[in-house]
């Protein structure tokens, strides 16, 4: 099966001289969920921001759904790779939930009726259609996360990239999010320090260290090799 994401020898240095990525190779298969683990500053977020061109200027190659990422393909690829930010307040900005979820389709040139239909379908898929007329700031953290995911689904993205998705969520909201993500067919990349959540959702883990991939494999194996040495408590494995 051809990879839906293929990255080869990705290197990137920030303007201050920080070498954030030092030759990263990565593959994601269709329908697969991969957890990116590693300490703060190891390159995880820098890596995922390259996948739809939010960061560029480095070297190496990135292909999404078989299409090389370049200046000429960036707009199309951004429709394929949906980013869900750690803080949903950075992603939700329109007066109502429905307008927020419809914003992406409208901004891509879709007519208003089709954009609204896409938004309503995505909200129904995430269990948030009842909140369509609400202001996003009236929602709980878990509800905001679902609306942010709905915004990505409305764009019919083939890959979901979730940055620390359990931040700000209480245990019931985390469990609800876990079930939602399990039900979504898209390939997923999960950037997280939440080891139990990674074990419950991902089939594979990739461990970043000093801008490189230090190891990968089954999630529990990668955690056993790297995770506990970072000061993380031993995760409580899901039943």
Model confidence pLDDT, tens digit, residues 112-128:
999 999 999 999 999 99
Contact assessment for residue 47 and residue 10, using Cβ atoms and an 8 Å cutoff: yes
Long-range residue pairs from 116-121, CB within 8 A, at least 24 positions apart, any chain:
118/154, 118/156, 119/150, 119/154, 121/153, 121/154
Portion of the chain with pLDDT greater than 90, in percent = 80
* Band (178; pLDDT cuts 50, 70, 90): very high
The chain-wide mean pLDDT, for the chain, equals: 91
Q: Is 109 exposed, middle or buried (0-12, 13-18, 19+ CB in 10 A)?
A: exposed
pLDDT exceeds cutoff 80 at 226: yes
**For the chain, domain boundaries:** 5-230
- What is the dotted CATH code of the domain comprising 5-230? 3.40.50.300
**How far, in Å, are 14, 33, 34, 219 from residue 147 at the CA level?**
32, 20, 22, 28
Question: For 146-163, b where at least 16 C-beta lie within 10 A, e where not — what string?
Answer: bbbbbbbbbbebbbbbbb
Question: Is this structure's pTM higher than 0.85?
Answer: yes
């Amino acid at each position: 099966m051809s990879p839906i994401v293929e990255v080869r020898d990705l290197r990137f240095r920030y303007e201050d001289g920080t070498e954030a990525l030092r030759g990263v190779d990565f593959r994601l298969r269709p329908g697969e969920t991969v957890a990116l683990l590693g300490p703060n500053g190891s390159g995880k977020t820098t890596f995922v921001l390259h996948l739809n061109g939010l960061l560029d200027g480095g070297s190496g190659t990135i292909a999404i759904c078989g299409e090389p990422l370049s200046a000429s393909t960036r707009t199309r690829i951004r429709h394929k790779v949906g980013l869900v930010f750690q803080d949903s307040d950075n992603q939700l900005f329109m007066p109502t939930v429905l307008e927020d979820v419809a914003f992406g389709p409208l901004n891509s040139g879709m007519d208003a009726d089709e954009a609204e239909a896409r938004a309503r379908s995505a909200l129904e898929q995430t269990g948030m259609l009842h909140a369509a007329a609400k202001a996003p700031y009236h929602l709980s953290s878990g509800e905001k996360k679902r609306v942010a995911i709905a915004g990505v689904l409305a764009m019919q993205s083939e890959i979901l990239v979730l940055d620390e998705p359990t931040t700000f969520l209480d245990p019931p909201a985390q469990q609800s999010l876990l079930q939602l993500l399990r039900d979504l067919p898209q390939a997923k990349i999960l950037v997280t320090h939440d080891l139990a959540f990674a074990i419950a959702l991902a089939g594979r883990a990739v461990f970043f260290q000093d801008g490189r991939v230090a190891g990968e494999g089954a999630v529990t194996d990668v955690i056993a090799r790297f995770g506990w040495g970072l000061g993380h408590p031993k995760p409580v494995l899901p039943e």
